[in-house]
Structure 1
Amino acid sequence: MKYGNEDHTFVICAYKESPYLEDCIRSVTGQTVCSSVIIVTSTPNTFIRKTADKYQIPLICNHGEAGIAGDWNFAIETAKTPLVTIAHQDDIYGRHYLEAVLQTASFCSHPLILFTDYDELRGGKIVRGNRLLRVKRLMLSPLKIKACRRSIWVRRRILSMGSAICCPSVTIVKKNVSLPVFENNMKSNIDWQAWEKLSREKGEFAYIPSALMLHRIHRDSTTSQLLEKDQRRVEDLYMYRKFWPEWIAGIIEHFYQSAEKSNEINGKL
């Protein structure tokens, strides 16, 4: 199937008063191929309304299920196009992100999700490689082979070693996946759990091995807060048990936790 810009929506999830929201908006509206853009929020306030008005972007409030999963499912539901990218308000998309996604989707037979590589943004500086990024790129490397995109076994082996797919880099093909995509039983690994569920379905995980977005790491991010509270370890173990016996899950979690500490804002790169 041929996909065009009319088939895609960026849905920006805005929360409270992020100083990075405008950077995200400018990145999705400045794509080489333009598509629809919507802002959704469960925390409506004057700041978000004024920002949406400034860029003439529709603002839709979520008065339904609370929590991250509720917000993300609402974002997917709100978009009326077959392709949806849930844009996190702190992140920045490269100008060629959507162009690459549309081209890749058009060459797939039955895509479930499409996602790109990414770099990190720390303190205003772009980090193109650290231990965690290198590990994730190695984990995803089998998906560079088109035949592996359709392999349930390959996808599950990748996910069994950790969450290598960067959530804001993902574009979801609504008509090809089971809805709702996200479950509201976690805080940190909501996306990993969703990819695990989708990995069981027939279709393609289309990986674009180019860093086409910047994932911002800062102390106020949900992931950084959860790492400090040690909540991430509990959720990681829960996910590893979906793939491995208890004793193996514990060993893998130990090594993955060490790599994840590079997410800490003061950690060494």
Structure 2
Amino acid sequence: MYIKSFPTDPEMSTSPPRLTVALPTFNGGRHFAETLRAILDQSGVEYDLVICDDRSDDDTLPLARRLAGDRARIEVNPERLGLAGNWNRCAELARTPLLAIVHQDDLLLPDHLASHSAAFDRIPDLGMTVGAAEVIDEQGCPIPPAVIERPSLGPTDRVYPPGGFVAELSRPNPVRCSAVVLRRRALLDSGGFDPSYRYAVDWECWIRLSRRWPVAWLARPTVAVRWHSGSETHRFRRGSDDLDEVSRVLDLALETEAHVLEHPRASRRDADRFLSRAYLNRSLDALHAGDAPLARRCLRRALALRPALLGAMARDPRLAAQMAALALAPRWASRRFGRPAPADRPISGPK
């Protein structure tokens, strides 16, 4: 249990507002004002707004107080809690049956909360809604799907029974936290967010939650997820911690939840294929950045996951030359192929 306590029964509140929007922050001043305004502009549903700050030392808090005024409860943690700890604190501070945790640099479209809240009205035992999302850059401009994939589970809404959503989580994560609304009781039932994770903290929680609760997919995008170099996601690209966590999460989904998977062996092969490409991409990025030890480590991991990757590399002479040099003469390869790192890409890499 990672959530300490709920001060009130999550299901006690039956009158508006039934929804809390929680905005966990830490030094988010760069995009925070735009994110907060998008929340304040939500229409069609009443909500309680909680800003839970993890001891920022930039202008996040002054911005929050100036822009939100008395429309938000602003809480400052007595000590740094970290990502998972701050999200759990958001859940503890909520007073409503439903909870939306919004990242400090993402944008909600005007009817996001209303559309997700309506799904809980239609499906009384629902544990979680997951919505489609657009992807934007630092300036708020759309990033083409050819550059970064959109998380999608199909063009039509659907409801997964308890355990049914685990199969969707045993492949590249289709869920973006800002595009989720939770039943607080379901989050408490699942134990909350595990602080031993930093990159895949939400992904792992969704697996535990979806074991026992129905999940609804809403196909119309109502959130814009920001992809930029200053995000929490990009901090991990200096090593392989993010990929190692993803591997751990996929093992959780594929091994401990194998009984709910329709084709567990095929799911394992798909996961290994995805991870091997991700490690290979990281190996290339590290080689180009001059980090030969990281490049070799990621290359070994890629080939261990999928030995057949050697054949794909052999069909690409340039890639084969770089990887062969890395394996045989890493220092020389680092000097020969090192250059400024390419544009950041999602860990899913190319198909």
Q: How does the TM-score come out when normalised to structure 2?
A: 0.66
1:118 equivalenced with 2:133 (yes/no): yes
Identity across the alignment (%): 17
Alpha carbons of structure 1 residues 104 and 265: separation in structure 2 relative to 1, 3 Å: farther
| Candidates 85, 104, 110, aligned match of 1:70 | 85
| Candidates 129, 147, 154, aligned match of 1:141 | 154
More strand by share: 1
Q: Report 1:1-269 matches (<5 A).
A: 6-33=17-44, 34-45=46-57, 47-54=59-66, 55-56=68-69, 57-63=72-78, 66-124=81-139, 125-127=141-143, 129-130=145-146, 132-134=148-150, 136-137=151-152, 140-141=153-154, 144-146=157-159, 149-152=160-163, 154-177=164-187, 178=189, 180-201=191-212, 203-244=213-254, 248=269, 249-255=271-277, 265-267=343-345
RMSD of Structure 2 on Structure 1 (CA): 3.0
Following superposition, the deviation at residue 109 of structure 1 comes to: 2.7
C-alpha distance in 1, partners of 2:109/2:16?
A: 16
- For 2:175, give the aligned amino acid: I
Residue 60 of structure 1 aligns to a residue whose secondary structure is: strand
C-alpha distance in 2, partners of 1:49/1:65?
A: 15
Is the deviation greater in 243-252 or in 219-228? 243-252
- For 1:165, give the aligned amino acid: V
C-alpha distance in 1, partners of 2:247/2:166?
A: 16
Indicate if the aligned counterparts of 1:73 and 1:180 stay in contact, CA closer than 8 A: no
Residue 275 of structure 2 aligns to a residue whose secondary structure is: helix
The higher relative CO (CA closer than 8 Å, separation ≥ 6) is in 1
- For 1:36, give the aligned amino acid: D
C-alpha distance in 1, partners of 2:245/2:196?
A: 10
For structure 1, the 5+ residue unaligned runs are none
C-alpha distance in 1, partners of 2:128/2:22?
A: 16
Indicate if the aligned counterparts of 2:136 and 2:225 stay in contact, CA closer than 8 A: yes
Residue 113 of structure 2 aligns to a residue whose secondary structure is: helix
Is the deviation greater in 172-181 or in 248-257? 248-257
Figure out how many residues of one structure are paired with residues of the other and give that number. 260
- For 2:211, give the aligned amino acid: R
C-alpha distance in 2, partners of 1:144/1:258?
A: 34
Q: How does the TM-score come out when normalised to structure 1?
A: 0.85
C-alpha distance in 1, partners of 2:215/2:278?
A: 22
Choose 1 or 2 for highest CA Rg. 2
Deviation track 1:209-233 (CA, whole Å, cap 9, x = no partner) reads 1110111111111111213322111
Indicate if the aligned counterparts of 1:162 and 1:256 stay in contact, CA closer than 8 A: no
Following superposition, the deviation at residue 46 of structure 1 comes to: 6.6
Following superposition, the deviation at residue 41 of structure 1 comes to: 0.8
C-alpha distance in 2, partners of 1:4/1:259?
A: 50
Alpha carbons of structure 1 residues 5 and 90: separation in structure 2 relative to 1, 3 Å: farther
Alpha carbons of structure 1 residues 258 and 191: separation in structure 2 relative to 1, 3 Å: farther
Following superposition, the deviation at residue 255 of structure 1 comes to: 3.8
- For 2:178, give the aligned amino acid: P
Following superposition, the deviation at residue 11 of structure 1 comes to: 1.0
Indicate if the aligned counterparts of 1:240 and 1:253 stay in contact, CA closer than 8 A: no
Indicate if the aligned counterparts of 2:148 and 2:345 stay in contact, CA closer than 8 A: no
